[in-house]
Amino acid sequence: MTDIEEAPKPHVEEYPRSCNTCMHVRSCKAFAMAVGMNKSFNEANDFVNLLQDPQLIALGCKEYLSPISKSEYGV
């Protein structure tokens, strides 16, 4: 009996889910507001820095647009 080899799986790029990888970021009002709020908070309060990264909005965003469409990697 011969061994059956599995077909090679296609390489799938995994992009971290952040605003940097979202195709919607240029028109995203939530991201713009978070960046502005973070900047103004840090300027107004020189004794403390707001640690929240605006890029983390993408983790809960319902309008996140992946740079790879699902059809490109077969899912």
Looking at the whole model, is its pTM more than 0.85? no
- Asked whether the predicted pLDDT for residue 71 surpasses 60, the reply is no
How is the chain split into domains, by residue range?
14-43+53-67
Confidence of residue 17 (pLDDT cuts 50, 70, 90): confident
Distance CA 63, CA 7 (A): 35
Q: What is the mean pLDDT of residues 36-46?
A: 91
Give the angle subtended at the CA of 57 by the CAs of 44 and 41, to the nearest 5°.
0
- 8 A C-beta contact, residue 56 and residue 18: yes
